Structure 1
């Protein structure tokens, strides 16, 4: 087993530390393949040796492109063992989008899945599969690697979803990630026998930093899904006795609407955790009705990602809340003049703490724009605090629209739409209107086999929402456009043309 060095004070030291403590305990499960912590350390050290021989040095960027796979974990830790920066890329992007990130990050090495689309060729490129395994085998017995790494060195460049414009590369230091793990472990009782389902994409900060790394830190087992699939998830939960999982709203909605849901064996699950967008209370209630603890959190890539969290003991009493500020961070809601809002008054969320990004890769202007005086990070999200200090996320600043002088938060309308018995998913955007300035346009996805008419949707909303909040237009669609992390691409919805005469699947009030 490779020796534990003393100069690497970052994430690269974790595999050796964990292997020393629990060498024979399973670390990863992928399909039928189990990798122990000792085996994982050996593979990481071999990969690091090969990357070093190809010229990767401290501070260089090492990218990974592909679906969830153990090679993702190995590449990340190998990069960190060498003091390099890990750049996980969204494999769902088009080739030119991937090429932009490879150029922008200046990646010197790339590990990628078969069939990946890209044109940029870093100095070292290897494909996961036979070539990758041969690469590790050719490394021979790995020599000890002990590169000095400081906690404040950059560990990750995570490209934001790019819902508007070019994506920015948010940097997270080793310390940012460690403090996020501390915050997570304060709020969630992650155990050494945890069996965590990794169904969300690992290139997204939540699956990586909120699930895989805390599980690794505690010596638990991560069951990795190549991609999310409801039926496979239910099979894995029962077969491997999953105890904990993270998902976005769409993932949990899919599980709850599976025909297998009422009889599914969920007895091993201690809790589920969601974030990334507001979760409709009706969906949370569906999980609570099955006796499951449903915890929500709020955060973003730039906060590594946890900013607030609703612990299990409060998950029923404060249903729908994103919880209290995490232990090692501070959160405020402010008006446009940056003064603090009153209880119940919506305002922009600001976050400050050791988990907050130092800025964006090679983008000093975006970094300056992201912070206020005093080091508070501007989230661009609108939320309010209740009297007990719990945060309630309202919407994104850019998603809010003004209709007849009134602020409309689409997330509020979407939550009501979700309560419709025939609606599977919904998204609302503001569109120009000559009379009111902007009005709402709702896109709704019906449940399989359900007949859904635009007029019936509006009739459902009318007694439940103020008149100015009612969408003027309703589109019945088969699916919503989403980013790789599962967020709805609202910019795509805003740009959609209206159907001829707006008569097919839509109506105008």
Structure 2
């Protein structure tokens, strides 16, 4: 075997557990043998189109077997998988496709119309729809039937790039985080160890696979162990409850909002949830009322902390410590380490707030084509600088104190204010803008825009939303606009966002 990356996983699973169910999608079931055979055929299609080592293959679609098949097919060839967030606006899609250098885009026909302006903006000529397609634009299924087939076993090592996942831009443009085959393997191993993933697990995937948490900490560890993935294209709380009971789901990953919506659903009390053994939650802390609702049904959460650059898991809080260490995001994952540094980079004592730094084989290789940003993201001794503030307690448990980068997490989606602020600054009459996160019972927090405007000018929420519509994803668009006489600033002119959050966030 020449492929020592994730591209070998499908063939190995075909050999070890050919008849075990790998994927459930709707009423269809796919065994590991069927899955690996399909991966081989798709890799043949890609190879026939001239794709190989280092070439970027983009995918635009919701959770479905093709998402994972294309990813593993690209990995077989040593190509790089670029999953595109389907909620992005056309200019954002264009940036991801152009910046990644995508040679081909595989797109779900249901999303083609929405994605096409972004595809056109990136000038991608090779577009393959999933499904049959038509005579003019043959789809992936049609192309597979004429593919030569055969398993590709290319030279791939742990340090080779496997995927490029785009992070929300802190300076207006999303950055491509390059995750290696080693990164994705080690994060899967971390999850297998710390979440006790076993081959009999059945995981319901209600979070989009284009999110690194769903992919790296949900799909990949289950696949590596030979478990079963139940794929859902969108989240509906009632349907999720029904699927848990129908398939005897054992694992579920989500954000506080998804768990809250399930607990608030009329079917909650009457649904058999006795099969659920592992609940993982990220994005933000689980509110007490949600903890109570699930504990009343005999379930507890594993919570954690991480980011795209750590593939994404950095820490996890075991369910049995949920109450004792409430508010903590846990201990570092098995093959990962965390430390806290002051502004000069020196290590601080336990209980002292500083910047969270992370080390381990799950930490990314760097930002695509951004050597300065990559260099700035690491310390001199190679630890990743998270940009988040936190502290370790006496037992080594991590607590998040604040977000140095002012990131907003809304329903599990990362929002960087600078990106939104740059666009709002172009609204007529706006003289100053600060975007902050305000607590929200459903979404955890939502963005608000605090503005100053020119004398005699009025700027409304409708004005701001109208300007942003189509330019950025809708979840990034502020839910409220507040006009103030003056934005509080430091002596150097920086907006005091903590003061604004205190004033408007309650």
Per the normalisation by structure 1, the TM-score is 0.79
Give the equivalent residue in structure 2 for 1:359: 366
Give the equivalent residue in structure 2 for 1:87: 82
Give how far 1:499 is off: 10
1:29–1:221 CA contact under 8 A, matched in 2: yes
Q: 1:180 to 1:400 in 2, by over 3 A?
A: closer
Give how far 1:101 is off: 1.0
Q: Are 1:209 and 2:220 matched, yes or no?
A: no
Q: Are 1:138 and 2:168 matched, yes or no?
A: no
Give how far 1:143 is off: 2.1
Q: 1:138 to 1:280 in 2, by over 3 A?
A: same
Match runs of 1:155-304 below 5 Å: 155-162=162-169, 165-304=172-311
Q: 1:137 to 1:396 in 2, by over 3 A?
A: same
1:400–1:430 CA contact under 8 A, matched in 2: no
Count of residue correspondences = 432
| Deviates further, 92-101 or 34-43 | 92-101
Quote the Cα distance in structure 2 between the aligned partners of 1:113 and 1:432.
39
Give how far 1:219 is off: 0.5
Pick one of 4, 14, 19 that aligns with 1:19: 14
Q: Are 1:35 and 2:30 matched, yes or no?
A: yes
Quote the Cα distance in structure 1 between the aligned partners of 2:264 and 2:170.
28
Q: 1:45 to 1:494 in 2, by over 3 A?
A: same
Pick one of 309, 315, 328 that aligns with 2:322: 315
Match runs of 1:62-101 below 5 Å: 62-101=57-96
**Which SS does the other structure have where 1:151 is aligned?**
coil
Quote the Cα distance in structure 1 between the aligned partners of 2:445 and 2:313.
26
Give how far 1:137 is off: 1.6
**Which SS does the other structure have where 2:7 is aligned?**
helix
Quote the Cα distance in structure 2 between the aligned partners of 1:256 and 1:164.
37
Give the equivalent residue in structure 1 for 2:56: 61
Task: Write the deviation string for residues 451-496 of structure 1: whole angstroms up to 9, x where unpaired.
Answer: xxxxxxxxxxxxxxxxxxxxxxxxxxxxxxxx97x9x74xx44983
Q: 1:52 to 1:400 in 2, by over 3 A?
A: closer
Quote the Cα distance in structure 2 between the aligned partners of 1:430 and 1:307.
31
Quote the Cα distance in structure 2 between the aligned partners of 1:277 and 1:366.
26
Quote the Cα distance in structure 2 between the aligned partners of 1:352 and 1:56.
33
2:447–2:479 CA contact under 8 A, matched in 1: no
Q: 1:431 to 1:154 in 2, by over 3 A?
A: same
Pick one of 363, 381, 389 that aligns with 1:382: 389
Pick one of 474, 481, 501 that aligns with 1:496: 481
Give how far 1:316 is off: 3.7
Query: Which runs of no fewer than 5 residues in structure 2 stay unpaired?
Result: 133-138, 409-435, 453-460, 462-471, 486-502
1:51–1:124 CA contact under 8 A, matched in 2: no
2:291–2:300 CA contact under 8 A, matched in 1: no
Give how far 1:357 is off: 0.8
RMSD of aligned Cα (Å): 2.8
Give the equivalent residue in structure 2 for 1:399: 406
Q: 1:430 to 1:382 in 2, by over 3 A?
A: farther
Quote the Cα distance in structure 2 between the aligned partners of 1:80 and 1:276.
28
Quote the Cα distance in structure 1 between the aligned partners of 2:66 and 2:407.
40
1:152–1:175 CA contact under 8 A, matched in 2: yes
Q: 1:139 to 1:240 in 2, by over 3 A?
A: same
Give the equivalent residue in structure 1 for 2:343: 336
Per the normalisation by structure 2, the TM-score is 0.80
Give how far 1:336 is off: 1.7
